[in-house]
Amino acid sequence: MTNDKSMLPIGTMLNGRYIIRGHLSSGGFGKTYLAVCRPHNTKVAIKEFFMTAANFRDADGVSVSTNRNYTQQFGEQIVKFRKEYERLRLISNVHVVKVYDCFEENGTAYYVMDFVEGTNLEEYLRKRNAPYTETAIYNYLKQVLDGLKAIHSKDLLHLDLKPANIMKTPNGYVKLIDLGASKDYIGGEGATMFTGVARTERYAPPEQVDGSFDKLGPWSDFYALGATLYRLLTNRVVPTYTSLYEDHTRDKHIALPMPNVSDKTKQLIVWLMNTDRTRRPQSVDDILQWLRKPSAQDQEVAIQDREVTINVPGEEKRPQQPPTPQPRPTPRPTPRPTSQPPTPVPKNDEFSLLGCFYIIVIIFIVVTIIKALL
């Protein structure tokens, strides 16, 4: 919940059917409310587009007005807000909150999302006051990557990934929420639709903090993912990117203290949090492919066993049985090749030919004698 006095009053009705029941969060580009949808009183979350630097609430506490210096920009942002909703609503993934309604009212725009029951990972971390285990984190990581892949497939970026925006539901799933900062982008070096992008300090990558919005891409979400992993595995405050910048310009690894974290997981976090966006993963598939590779320790075992095994960090390794030695066959002498003699003519055939010859001779003699007598 939030104490922002510019939030809509409890009980406010929106679009004729949504009634505000609570205040969830407030940021530089929007406010999020808990509401119920009539007539079935289904819980929903509603995002209100509200630029803190440009907008203010009117005397009625509901209507939104815009500073005259930002009138044109605000109008452009409303159009883009609605366009992005059209893409957000197409995302259908169990690990991404579902967005399904959008409307304009009170001088601004809103969209409606499923309300996700559960506890966000930041809140859970503070309650337990201890780092998560790597086994748990890798279970969550696979789900988060699946959600990010669904978002990126629509040419959208989350741009506000952090533990507080990852909800753990009662059924054990994790789900990405608060898509209000999500931005449309054109792959590679394309420009973002928005001229301003909300961010959370320490989780936002350099290109987002510095306002280089034309440099945003999937790699920008991966920096935030690395910062999220660091936070959850260490229970420490994430360092600012400026404190990491010098090490990267010298092509060194990030000096991040990560006690009780495996070397492979450290390598993953260092890769994700590289201040040079071109040295980060460029797609979710890059990360998944890297995770499938065995670590150095795994490779040593694989070489000893003379077989290649792939172990994903965080999963329990089952002891492998040594290969059963196969008995060697007893060598047998190979017989020397011998030339084959010609096939003999059967004796019966010899006698038959000779007999025919004698018969012909006898017949010739008899014929000769008869002619002589005549």
Q: How far is CA 130 from the centre of its chain?
A: 26
Q: Which residue has the higher pLDDT, 366 or 13?
A: 13
Contact call for residues 56 and 65 (beta carbons, < 8 A)? yes
Q: How far is CA 164 from the centre of its chain?
A: 19
Residues 111 and 213 in one domain: no
We report the CATH number of the domain holding residue 38 as 3.30.200.20
Among the candidates 70, 98, 115, a domain finishes at 115
Q: Which residue has the higher pLDDT, 113 or 297?
A: 113
Q: Is the pTM for the entire model greater than 0.85?
A: no
- Residue 11 lies inside a defined structural domain of this protein: yes
Residues 81 and 127 in one domain: no
- Residue 370 lies inside a defined structural domain of this protein: no
Task: State the average pLDDT for the chain.
Answer: 81
- Residue 191 lies inside a defined structural domain of this protein: yes
Query: 95 pLDDT exceeds 70?
Result: yes
Cα-Cα-Cα-Cα dihedral sign, residues 313, 223, 286, 197: positive
Name the phi and psi angles at 152, rounded to 5: -65, -25
Residues 157 and 52 in one domain: no
- Residue 94 lies inside a defined structural domain of this protein: yes
**pLDDT more than 90, % of the chain:** 59
pLDDT score, position 196: 47
Residues 28 and 146 in one domain: no
Structural domains counted in the chain: 2
Model confidence at 301, pLDDT cuts 50, 70, 90, reads very low
Among the candidates 81, 115, 149, a domain finishes at 115
Residues 55 and 142 in one domain: no
pLDDT score, position 355: 66
Residues 45 and 144 in one domain: no
We report the CATH number of the domain holding residue 237 as 1.10.510.10
Residue of 301, 306, 338 lying closest to 318 (CA atoms): 301
Among the candidates 115, 133, 152, a domain finishes at 115
Residues 100 and 134 in one domain: no
Q: Which domain holds residue 246?
A: 117-316
Residues 108 and 160 in one domain: no
d(CA 32, CA 49): 9
Residues 265 and 124 in one domain: yes
- Residue 312 lies inside a defined structural domain of this protein: yes
> What is the per-residue pLDDT across 267-276, written as a single tens digit (0 to 9) for each?
999 999 999 9
pLDDT score, position 370: 77
Residues 109 and 138 in one domain: no
Model confidence at 328, pLDDT cuts 50, 70, 90, reads low
230 contacts: CB under 8 Å, gap ≥ 6 = 236, 238, 256, 258, 269, 273
- Residue 361 lies inside a defined structural domain of this protein: no
Residues 159 and 35 in one domain: no
Residues 191 and 202 in one domain: yes
- Residue 141 lies inside a defined structural domain of this protein: yes
- Residue 356 lies inside a defined structural domain of this protein: no
